[in-house]
Amino acid sequence: SLVAKPVFVHARKRIRWRLVTSWPKSLDVLFGAPQKIAELVHQMTDGLFDIRVYAAGEIVPGLKVLDAVQEGSVPIGHTALYYYTGKHQAFAFACGVPFGLTYRAQNVWLDKSKGGRLLEKLLADFNVVGFPAGNTGAQMGGWFKKPIRSVDDLKGLRFRIPGLGGKVMARLGVSVQLLAGGDIYPALERGAIDGTEWIGPYDDEKLGFYKVAKYYHYPGWWEPSATLHLIVNRKAYESLPKEYQEILKTAAKVANQQMMEEYDAKNPPALKRLLQKGVKLVKFSDEIMTRAQKEAFSLYEELAAKDALYRDIFEDWKNFRGEIAKWFGTAELAINQFLYGR
Amino acid sequence: SLVAKPVFVHARKRIRWRLVTSWPKSLDVLFGAPQKIAELVHQMTDGLFDIRVYAAGEIVPGLKVLDAVQEGSVPIGHTALYYYTGKHQAFAFACGVPFGLTYRAQNVWLDKSKGGRLLEKLLADFNVVGFPAGNTGAQMGGWFKKPIRSVDDLKGLRFRIPGLGGKVMARLGVSVQLLAGGDIYPALERGAIDGTEWIGPYDDEKLGFYKVAKYYHYPGWWEPSATLHLIVNRKAYESLPKEYQEILKTAAKVANQQMMEEYDAKNPPALKRLLQKGVKLVKFSDEIMTRAQKEAFSLYEELAAKDALYRDIFEDWKNFRGEIAKWFGTAELAINQFLYGR
């Protein structure tokens, strides 16, 4: 036949973006999430949409990622939204709060709830679009020089813990310390603090806390999971072809699962190595957990009384948390207890 | 300037594929996973790569998806690989086995282990490339007319359960029944069987088992999680532009998380409705679980003794399962017990 075959030719945009993060490269699983996103976007656009990933401090400080993306000085960033509770307290729910949602519950809530939509509106007020793009899972409860058995044991203890976890610890009588990552080990070594929390076995091992504080507590009830977000300047996002928007969203969702996988692959051997080095595991008692949960919820109620948006998000979150607990308390909990509880 | 700006024009292939599945449309969460994949691929290729999804039986029978994709009569399918243990027993590990891996552990093992690579080689022997693309999470233990408290209570009971779960139940003295989805309710109603398992609250509710067998047991220890796979004919996959291959892989990975989210969103209200209708929850006793686990592992050992590839996959899986259990038994289990265990 002489009829020409149709040729589908699309002129596609070449785009180069710089992506800023809140992570040093040494936190390779956290930093690996935006790298994964960049890699996927590159592969899915035949290299036309090119994203280069920068560590904290390379372009903007780690805790200024939202500011930079909001202003548009960079189009895109990867961060933990609870760093920005100074801008709005409700950002805490986007990431994780004490006695909050576990990984799977958090994914559902952010994706499908009224609270998730309200958080998107809050982000829109800051001129950004956000997508969950990573999770640490349940964190560990941190390193102490002595085993902590009761709320009494916590009183007066100098413990390094930021954020809402720190606020709850303060209500339990802890002398809460705020120290950046690199300052923790020296402070612990010379006895300026009695303990510290960080993330989990894989990241904690690298900072060497086990050498000077061998009682490793669990769970980190202040972070039953912690979602990291990919945030994009709204104008920059809207300037993308629809196809690239979908590719970016999809890559973020893959990164959300991929980071969980990375931690679940790297934490088990790290925990094993730590135990071989003489680390002792200590489970926080029900007394501590119950008291801490009570203080956490009284804190949320206080914040809800001051701000209508916070209250709306908190009420939706609290209701969701109660409903999903009944389901996660049956098949999933029972098989986990049987397989992992002995 | 008179210098022309570069225009990036790529001739891209228009592709139309038919995707066959093992699911009736009524199992909307299962059927929704390949639909989600088709939607994402469409969006990420500006409609150029078009996949149309067919229910079980529309083109090929639900249990012949691997056969059809292997032969290339259709290029792509969505199925559960444990339907094909008749072709090779090791396919069971790709999906889920009694006392096997929970959702997060299963994701890591398939993605990062030697066993995962061996399963990929096994799929290659069947001329297909496979990607995890959906999960049910921990299933429920099914519906009985009386509460089952002990192994003795199981003896002689006519219980509908397929696959390895059925083999283990048979070893516990159950009279194992095999019935297709639509035949189960009538059999249960007229007393031809004493009980049945299915999936979880959302899917089970639709089949109405609660009307004739109100004791709802948990956990479904025969499926601590169940991975569904996207499988692609190798030649068809290799004929795709690299960019479309990445888009397809990425869409599968999103579907893997998305299906878990759908179930985690739909199961809690379904369980609540069932309880309001008078359903009674019964937890399988440690005696039953321990005996069943012992039988399951003796079954795996028997199969391993007969086939070298099965043995290699099983040994890797068993080792992984043991290692990850220590980690999932600390922070994750402790916070889950506290949040969901009361």
Structure confidence by residue, pLDDT tens digits, A317-333? 999 999 999 999 999 99
| B193: nearest Cα among B211, B212, B208, B206 | B212
Contacts of B105 in chain A (CB under 8 A): 264
pLDDT band per the 50, 70, 90 thresholds, residue B146? very high
Q: Distances in Å between the alpha carbon of B126 and those of B81, B88, B120?
A: 12, 10, 10
Q: Does the pLDDT of residue A342 top 90, yes or no?
A: no
pLDDT for the residue numbered A182: 85
Question: Which residue out of B245, B264, B266, B342 would a mutagenesis test of the A interface target, given it has the greatest number of A Cβ atoms within 10 Å?
Answer: B264
Locate the chain A residue with the closest alpha carbon to B200: A331
What is the strand order of the sheet B128-135 is part of?
B49-54, B15-21, B76-79, B227-233, B128-135
pLDDT greater than 50 at residue B275: yes
Say whether B250 and A246 touch across the interface (CB within 8 A): no
CB contact under 8 Å between B337 and A338, yes or no, is no
Report the pLDDT value the prediction gives residue A209, as an integer from 0 to 100: 97
pLDDT band at A4 (very low <50, low <70, confident <90, very high): very low
For residue B342, is pLDDT > 80? Answer: no
What does the alpha-carbon distance between residue B328 and residue A256 come to, in Å, rounded to a whole number? Answer: 19
Chain A residue numbers with beta carbons less than 8 Å from the beta carbon of B267 are 327
- B275: nearest CA in chain A? A326
The mean pLDDT of chain B is 95
Residue B12 confidence (pLDDT): 79
**Cβ under 8 Å to A: B residues 250-269:** 250-251, 253-254, 256-258, 260-261, 264-265, 267-269
Asked if the model's pLDDT at residue A183 lies above 70, the reply is: yes
What's the CA gap between A182 and A207, in Å, rounded? 8
Average pLDDT value for residue range A42-69: 97
Lowest mean pLDDT among A6-20, A27-41, A71-85, A104-118: A6-20
3-state secondary structure chain B: CCCCCCCCEEECCCEEEEEEECCCCCCHHHHHHHHHHHHHHHHHCCCCEEEEEECCCCCCCHHHHHHHHHHCCCCEEEECHHHHCCCCCCHHHHHCCCCCCCHHHHHHHHHHCHHHHHHHHHHHHCCEEEEEEEECCCCCCEEECCCCCCHHHHCCCEEECCHHHHHHHHHCCCEEECCCHHHHHHHHHCCCCCEECCCCHHHHHHHCHHHCCCEEEECCCCCCCCEEEEEEEHHHHHHCCHHHHHHHHHHHHHHHHHHHHHHHHHHHHHHHHHHHCCCEEEECCHHHHHHHHHHHHHHHHHHHHHCHHHHHHHHHHHHHHHHHHHHHHHHHHHHHHHHHCC
Q: Which amino acid is at A185?
A: Y
pLDDT over 60 (residue A264): yes
Give how far Cα A3 sits from Cα of A22, A273, B111, Å.
56, 68, 47
What are A115-163's pLDDT values in tens digits?
A: 999 999 999 999 999 999 999 999 999 999 999 999 999 999 999 999 9
Query: What's the pLDDT at B316?
Result: 98
Contact A218, A140 (CB under 8 A): yes
pLDDT score of A221:
98
Q: Tens of pLDDT along A76-93?
A: 999 999 999 999 999 999
- Write down how long chain A is: 342
Tell me: pLDDT of B167 over 50: yes
What's the pLDDT score for residue B11? 62
Q: How far apart are CA A34 and CA A21, in angstroms?
A: 8
The pLDDT tens digits of the residues spanning B41-61 come to 999 999 999 999 999 999 999
The ipTM (two decimal places) reads 0.95
* Cα-based distances in Å from B55 to A200, A319, B8, B29: 43, 36, 39, 13
Contacts of B279 (CB under 8 A, 6+ apart): B210, B214, B215, B216
For B254, the closest of A220, A254, A336 (CB atoms) is: A254
Q: Is residue A10's pLDDT more than 70?
A: no
B79 at A interface, C-beta within 8 A = no
Q: Where does residue B228 rank: exposed (0-12), middle (13-18), buried (19+ CB within 10 A)? A: buried
* Count of CB atoms situated within 10 Å of the CB of B16: 10
Q: Flag whether pLDDT at B151 surpasses 90.
A: yes
* A226-241 mean pLDDT: 98
Q: Which residues in chain A are closer than 8 Å to B10, comparing Cβ atoms?
A: 9-10, 12, 46, 48
Query: Cα separation of A8 and A12, whole Å?
Result: 12
For residues A232-256, average pLDDT: 97
Put simply, the answer to whether B108 touches A264 (Cβ < 8 Å) is yes
Report how far residue B221's alpha carbon sits from residue A246's, in angstroms, rounded to the nearest whole number.
38
pLDDT at A12 over 90: no
- The whole-number average pLDDT for the span B60-70 is 97
Q: Across all residues in chain A, what is the average pLDDT?
A: 95
pLDDT given for residue B4 in this prediction = 44
| Cα angle value B84/B88/B93 (rounded, 5°) | 75
Binding site as annotated, residues of A for Na(+):
198
Convert the pLDDT of each residue in B298-327 to its tens digit: 999 999 999 999 999 999 999 999 999 999
pLDDT at B10: 57
A297 Cβ under 8 Å from any chain B Cβ: no
Name the strand (E) or helix (H) holding A304: helix A286-306
Number of H helices, E strands in chain A: 14, 12
Mean per-residue pLDDT, B252-270: 98
Per-residue confidence (pLDDT) for residue B180, from 0 to 100: 81
What is the per-residue pLDDT for A11?
61
Cis upstream peptide for B219 (omega within 30°):
yes
Mean pLDDT for A246-257 is 98
Backbone angles phi, psi at A259, to 5 degrees: -65, -40
Are B141 and B197 in contact by the 8 Å Cβ rule? The answer is yes
C-alpha distances in Å from residue B132, one per residue of B91, B106, B224, B227: 13, 10, 16, 6
A284: enclosing H helix or E strand: none
Contact B257 A261 (CB under 8 A): no
Per-residue pLDDT, B236? 98
Per-residue pLDDT for A210 more than 80? yes
Q: Do A268 and B326 touch (CB under 8 A)?
A: yes
CA B119, CA B229: separation in Å to the nearest integer? 12
What is the model's pLDDT at position A145?
A: 96
Q: Which residues of chain A make contact with B325, given a CB cutoff of 8 A? A: 339-340
